[in-house]
Amino acid sequence: MAILEVKDLTKKYGMGDGEVVAVDHISFSVEKGEFVAITGASGSGKSTLMNMIGGIDAPTSGEVTVDGRCISSMSEDELAIFRRRNLGMIYQFYNLIPTLTAEENIVLPWRLDGRKKNDEKVKEILSVLGLSERAGHLPGQMSGGQQQRVSIGRALINDPAFILADEPTGNLDSRTSGEIIDLLKYTNEKLGQTILLITHDEKIALSADRIITIGDGRIIRDEVMKR
What is the contact surface with another protein in residues (CB under 8 A)? 51, 54, 56-57, 76-77, 80-85, 89, 91, 93, 95-101, 104, 108-109, 111-114, 136-141, 154
Q: Given the complex with another protein, which of 21 and 138 has the nearer CB atom?
A: 138
Least separation, in Å, of the C-beta of 99 and another protein? 4
How far apart CA 132 and CA 142 sit, in angstroms, is 13
Least distance between another protein and beta carbon 190 (Å): 24
CB of 23 to another protein, least distance (A): 13
Task: Kindly tell me which of 97 and 206 has the beta carbon lying closer to another protein.
Answer: 97
Helix-helix angle 119-129:174-191, to 10 degrees: 130
Instruction: Render 45-95 in DSSP notation, one character per residue.
Output: SHHHHHHHHTTSS--SEEEEEETTEE-TT--HHHHHHHHHHHEEEE-TT--
DSSP percent split of the chain into helix, strand, coil, nearest 5: 35, 30, 35
Q: Which is nearer to another protein, 146 or 207 (CB)?
A: 146
Q: Pick the closer one to another protein by CB: 114 or 190.
A: 114
At its nearest, how many Å lie between another protein and the CB of residue 206? 27
For residues 70 and 97, which CB has a smaller minimum distance to another protein in the complex?
97
Minimum CB–partner distance for residue 80 and another protein (Å): 4
Mapping DSSP onto H, E and C, the string for 129-162 reads HCCHHHCCCCHHHCCHHHHHHHHHHHHHCCCCCE
3-class DSSP assignment, residue 105: helix
Q: How far is the CB of 104 from another protein (least distance, A)?
A: 7
Cα 183 to Cα 128: distance, rounded to the nearest angstrom: 8
Spatial contact of 71 and 6, defined as CB atoms under 8 Å apart:
no
Nearer to another protein (CB atom), residue 151 or residue 188: 151
Report, in Å, the least distance between residue 62 CB and another protein. 17
CA distances from 14 to 22, 39, 54 (A): 11, 25, 22
Is the Cβ of residue 103 or residue 211 nearer to another protein in the bound state?
A: 103
